[in-house]
Amino acid sequence: MEMNGYTVRDGKQVADFAALKDDGSTACGVWIYSGVFPGEGQNMARRRNKGDGWISPEWGFAWPGNRRMLYNRASADPQGRPWSERKKYVWWDAAQHKWTGYDRPDFPDTKAPDTPGQEEGVGVDAHSGSDPFTLKADGRAWLFAPSGLKDGPLPTHYEPLESPVKNPVYRRQDSPIAKRFSRKDNPISAPGDPRFPYLATTYRVTEQYTSGSMSRWSSWLSELMPEMFAEISPELAAEKGIKNRDWIVVSSARGEIECRALVTRRLRPFQLNGALIHEIGLPYHWGYKGLVKGAMANDLVPLSEEPNVYIQEDKAFTCNIRKGRL
């Protein structure tokens, strides 16, 4: 009920988020789920009526307001007619003066397609009747992003902060606005640094969940992926005299870890600018506690931040490996 929202005075559930007020008379834990428990003993998520259409609006609940597709007004042209008869989804019913269709329209119900946007309007009132993207400031979708992104307006190619090669597209090697943390314990090795000739990437396996701090406490998941390992190609294994399951040390400019080698042909060396460059695959699910423990791949990763959402760059960096233990 907290999730669905209720009127504070009598504790009655609200029908959906349209009934929520900003004056304190209603309370709601998560507005997108508002409407999932619209009344006493009702749970929209439990509904199992397939119906005969292909949208099944009475099967379960989809947020917000049981809409199956967000921004679905875009399925109709500016005049409110379906773009395609075969794929018609929601449309403007001029006779009844409202939006209708197979799905619940994701648009103000009675706002006609020819309604002009209000110059001083707040929220969707500023949008015209042909602006489907209601959560965007201007109600439009953008192919070209002149504002909002720190590194827009168009996509381009930069090499990762650590890369074995020079950027083949521009003179500029890497993103000029990536956030770096220049500290002694966070060095970045330069392209072609002979100490770290290989590429490394980190990833997940399905059996463990992120850093494994939850899944490594389940015996059933732990037995399926019990130990930290590094995946290397047979070519690199032969070069380094490493056999499957041998202990190896993987090092980067920032640290080194020990783990088992898993030799597999799924890893294939890259041909970059005519040179053969090996790649090491590192799952990052282990740590120092749990039923199964192991080295942390993130100890090798450079600390950095992408300028928009501040995600660190751990899918590509450079490293070296050797047979043996730390």
Partner 1 sequence: MIDAYRRFMNIEAPPAPQRPKGFFTDTSLCIGCKACEVACKQWNQLPADGNELSGNSYDNTGALGATTWRHVQFVEQAKANNSRVGQRWLMMSDVCKHCANAACLEACPTGALVRTEFGSVYVQQDICNGCGYCVPACPFGVIDRAPKDGHFEAGRAHKCTLCYDRQKDGLEPACAKACPTDSIQFGDIEELQAKARRRLADLRARGETSARLYGMPESTEAAEVGHLNAFFLLLDRPEVYNLPEVPRLPRKTMAQRYAISAVVGLAFAALSAVAFGRRSG
Q: Which is nearer to partner 1, 97 or 268 (CB)?
A: 268
CB of 245 to partner 1, least distance (A): 4
CB of 220 to partner 1, least distance (A): 5
CB of 223 to partner 1, least distance (A): 4
Q: Which is nearer to partner 1, 3 or 276 (CB)?
A: 276
CB of 295 to partner 1, least distance (A): 13
Tokens at 234, concatenated: 């047979």
CB of 248 to partner 1, least distance (A): 13
Exposure string of 265-282, with b = 16+ CB inside 10 Å and e = fewer, is: eebebeeeeeeebbbbbb
| Residue 164, C-beta contacts closer than 8 angstroms, at least 6 positions apart | 191, 192, 197, 198, 199, 272, 275, 277, 318
CB of 250 to partner 1, least distance (A): 15
Q: Which is nearer to partner 1, 181 or 247 (CB)?
A: 247
Q: How many CB atoms lie under 10 A from the CB of residue 101?
A: 18
CB of 277 to partner 1, least distance (A): 15
Residue count (the chain): 326
Q: Which is nearest to 141 in space by CA: 66, 88, 71?
A: 71
Asked if 75 and 88 touch (Cβ cutoff 8 Å), the reply is: yes
Q: Which is nearer to partner 1, 167 or 264 (CB)?
A: 264
Q: Which is nearer to partner 1, 88 or 293 (CB)?
A: 293
Q: Which is nearer to partner 1, 110 or 244 (CB)?
A: 244
CA atoms within 13 A on the CB side of 205: 21
Strands 317-323 and 247-252: antiparallel
DSSP letter (8 states) at residue 235 = H
| Residue 324, C-beta contacts closer than 8 angstroms, at least 6 positions apart | 247, 248, 249
**What residues pair up with 48 in beta bridges, in sequence order?**
59
Q: Which is nearer to partner 1, 42 or 244 (CB)?
A: 244
Q: Which is nearer to partner 1, 50 or 265 (CB)?
A: 265
CA distance 143 to 70: 18
Contact set with partner 1 (CB under 8 A): 205-207, 219-227, 229, 244-245, 260, 262-266, 268, 291-292
Q: Which is nearest to 221 in space by CA: 296, 295, 286?
A: 286
CB of 197 to partner 1, least distance (A): 21
